[in-house]
């Protein structure tokens, strides 16, 4: 195992991410860590988040504004997400069909070591219900 110089900082970022509710930006986490006087710089927060995301310990996605957002993953290993566009509710899902399809498709084209990222964005049940009731009020 490689020994990382910044292990404690990374642990601290991991904890802050776990405490945050929903998806947060690196800047938001940096601000939280600053309040705690940890002395962790923004660049370190970025690096730690990228590392966590690469290892599947954090979910990352781009907001409609193009900002990278992160969230602590509750499922270990490879998985997929259902994300509500409106409130950010995230459900972690296994997608056996997708795994088989990805392997088959990659192999059919002679690709090995194939990886993929598949997240589904939509409206969750309560947001959809809220919109439906808003429509009723206006009608």
Q: Which helix (H) or strand (E) holds 91?
A: strand 90-93
31/72 with CB nearer Zn ion:
72
In 3D space, the residue among 45, 37, 35, 39 whose CA is nearest the CA of residue 11 turns out to be 45
Site residues (CB under 5 A) for Zn ion? 59, 73, 84, 86-87, 89, 92, 98-99, 124, 127
Closer by beta carbon to Zn ion, 117 or else 137: 117
**Cβ-based nearer residue to Zn ion, 28 or 99:** 99
The C-alpha atoms of residue 122 and residue 47 are separated, in whole angstroms, by 29
CB of 84 to Zn ion, least distance (A): 3
The least CB distance from residue 126 to Zn ion, in Å, is: 6
Contact 90, 81 (CB under 8 A): yes
Query: Taking the mean position of all CA atoms in its chain, how far away is CA 77?
Result: 13
Nearer to Zn ion, 18 or 87 (CB): 87
Contact between 106 and 112 under an 8 Å Cβ cutoff? The reply is: yes
> Min. distance of Cβ 30 from Zn ion in angstroms?
22
- The DSSP code for 82 is E
Least distance in Å: CB of 19 to Zn ion?
17
């Amino acid at each position: 195992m490689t020994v990382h110089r910044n292990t404690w900082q990374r642990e601290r970022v991991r904890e802050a991410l776990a405490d945050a509710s929903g998806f947060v930006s690196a800047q938001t986490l940096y601000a939280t860590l600053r309040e705690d006087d940890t002395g962790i710089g923004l660049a370190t927060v970025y690096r730690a988040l990228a590392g966590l995301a690469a290892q599947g310990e954090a979910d990352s996605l781009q907001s409609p504004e193009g900002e990278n957002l992160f969230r602590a993953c509750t499922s270990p290993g490879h998985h997929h997400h259902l994300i509500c566009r409106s409130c950010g509710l995230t459900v972690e899902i296994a997608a056996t069909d997708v795994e088989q399809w990805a392997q088959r498709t990659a192999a059919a084209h002679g690709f090995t070591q194939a990886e993929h990222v598949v997240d589904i964005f939509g409206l969750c049940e309560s947001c959809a219900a809220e919109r439906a009731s808003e429509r009723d009020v206006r009608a």
